[in-house]
Structure 1
């Protein structure tokens, strides 16, 4: 059975695993930092909504922003994978 403490621990480990890497190109690093900032805002809004410290409207807005950011990241990832596959198909 999954408890809230197990879920929180797994979430914390996952956040550390997807943190922006050191030594990555500047554009990639800033984009990853922006994405991480959006996700942090969602996390804060969700925590505030659960504890009653923030408005539900703020939570809905932050979830919408996170959805847009996630769709953008997935689209970029798809393009990178497509480009990589195209490179692999090139004759040597």
Structure 2
């Protein structure tokens, strides 16, 4: 028996499970992760707002304010990017012939 055919067969056997559906990656899990990301986004905005109020009353460090604003900016940019991708996908679906 040729040794190359054995290594090809073992390579195929190792790659085969990659095509199977992951039981941990289901629709309910995706919904839970989406809900978790929305909650994280809201928490980031709330904490940034609290730090801003504290900075206005001289109770927070200016560096903490800058860091909170940077986190908020990143969260908002991420949300806008996700929204744009969803709108693009929806428009692409609308363009599909029926």
Q: TM-score, normalised by structure 2?
A: 0.67
Structure-to-structure mapping, 1:1-92, within 5 angstroms: 25-92=31-98
TM-score, normalisation: structure 1: 0.71
| Unmatched segments (≥5 aa) in structure 2 | 1-30
Larger Rg: 2
CA RMSD of aligned residues (A): 0.8
Q: Secondary structure at the match of 2:49?
A: helix
Count of aligned residue pairs for this structure pair: 68
Runs of at least 5 residues in structure 1 that lack an aligned partner in the other structure: 1-24
Shift of 1:28: 1.9
**Deviation above 6 Å: which 4+ runs of structure 1?**
none
